[in-house]
Amino acid sequence: MDRIHSAAELRATTARWRSEGLRVALVPTMGNLHAGHYSLIRAARERSDRVVASVFVNPTQFGPNEDFARYPRTLDDDARGLQAEGCDLLFAPAVETMYPFGLEVATRVDVKGVTETLEGAFRPGHFAGVATVVLRLLNLVQPDVALFGRKDYQQLLTIRRLVADLCLPIEIADVATMREPDGLAMSSRNQYLSAQERPQAAQVYATLCRMRDAVLGGDAASAIERDARDALESAGFRVDYAAIRRAVDLTDPVPGERSGLVALIAARLGATRLIDNLAIGG
């Protein structure tokens, strides 16, 4: 596996692959890779001839009081894991490579319609940072397909909207969330949980399952959301949201709607913010 830091070298490599008629896949990550990330690499290998993984902790998607400085950087370990999974190229750029004119004057992309609610309401500017860095990576690699996990569901919708709205000839593929045996969604931030908090964290997924079952049972969304919030707060969480939304655009469901929905939770346990979601009714 090659490890590249230069945008010019990345472009030259992927251009050569395309000239040879090879299908190229991109898996964007912020590093500190775990089994969930590697499932994306395996899915990318099934869909392409060459796989590029990027490792870049993107400063523009972190708020002023978020964990950019302490976000774990484990590039050498990540490289070994990617090579073991059959990745062809690791792109690990510096901030100056991704934002050559500086962060303060960097061109930004604002995707309207799916970013204003839920995560967007609690993390202003987050999705503009996500959309900006993903568009830059897509332009640099020019892949045939890019793969993202479903755990960050609103992010996935944002990227789909970005690609469709800007008419980019790129397939966006999603991969199921990888979970621990107790249901906790795999995340780099799970390592921030204390030994006492770790088993408590599984309550997020358990609550999502109860929300799904209540929707299918015909309960009103408002009551389901209230009960979910109460259950999580009783378990020691500080809840940002526990919501039932339409999966296609995150709008509120109408009374009696039971399919094409998604339950979403964001909640803090100690110093760790956990997010997860669960599809309802297909």
pLDDT digits (tens, 9 = 90+) for 241-270: 999 999 999 999 999 999 999 999 999 999
CATH number of the domain enclosing 248? 3.30.1300.10
Domain co-membership, 7 together with 114:
yes
Which of 175, 196, 214 lies at the terminal end of a domain, its last residue?
175
The tens digit of pLDDT for each residue in 161-200 reads 999 999 999 999 999 999 999 999 999 999 999 999 999 9
Domain co-membership, 131 together with 248:
no
**Domain-embedded: residue 141:** yes
Domain co-membership, 40 together with 128:
yes
Domain co-membership, 162 together with 89:
yes
| Rounded Cα distance, 114 and 144, in Å | 24
Tokens of 280: 């309802």
List CB contacts of 83: < 8 A, sequence separation 6 or more: 1
Percent of the chain surpassing pLDDT 90: 96
Model pLDDT, residue 98: 98
Domain that holds residue 198: 188-280
Task: Give how many domains the chain has, as a whole number.
Answer: 2
Domain co-membership, 224 together with 250:
yes
CATH number of the domain enclosing 115? 3.40.50.620
The Cβ of residue 215 has, within 10 Å, a number of other Cβ atoms equal to: 21
**Domain-embedded: residue 19:** yes
**Domain-embedded: residue 181:** no
Mean predicted lDDT score pLDDT of the chain: 96
Tokens of 185: 């969604």
Tokens of 228: 């979910």
**Domain-embedded: residue 257:** yes
Active-site residue, selected from the candidate residues 5, 34, 37, 126: 37
Do 263 and 250 touch, CB atoms closer than 8 A? no
Do 26 and 148 touch, CB atoms closer than 8 A? no
Model pLDDT, residue 66: 80
Domain co-membership, 235 together with 144:
no
> Residue 96, SS3?
helix
- Spatial strand order in the sheet of 89-91: 2-4, 89-91, 50-55, 24-29, 145-149, 171-175
**pLDDT at 67 exceeding the cut of 90:** no
E strand residue ranges, 61-108 = 89-91
Give pairs for 121-129: CB < 8 Å, separation 24+.
Answer: 121/241, 122/240, 122/241, 122/266, 123/63, 123/66, 124/63, 125/60, 125/61, 125/63, 126/61, 126/62, 126/63, 127/61, 127/154, 127/155, 127/158, 128/60, 129/58, 129/59, 129/60, 129/61, 129/62
**Of residues 72 and 265, more confidently modeled:** 265
Percent of the chain surpassing pLDDT 70: 100
Active-site residue flag, 34: no
Domain co-membership, 155 together with 260:
no
| Rounded Cα distance, 109 and 131, in Å | 6
Do 275 and 184 touch, CB atoms closer than 8 A? no
pTM of the model: 0.95
Domain co-membership, 143 together with 200:
no
- pLDDT confidence band for 70 (50 / 70 / 90): confident
Which of 125, 149, 175 lies at the terminal end of a domain, its last residue?
175
The tens digit of pLDDT for each residue in 123-143 reads 999 999 999 999 999 999 999
Model pLDDT, residue 279: 98
Domain co-membership, 115 together with 192:
no
Domain co-membership, 6 together with 114:
yes
Domain co-membership, 134 together with 196:
no
Domain co-membership, 133 together with 199:
no
Which of 175, 196, 230 lies at the terminal end of a domain, its last residue?
175
| Rounded Cα distance, 179 and 34, in Å | 11
Residues in the chain: 282
**Domain-embedded: residue 183:** no
Model pLDDT, residue 280: 98
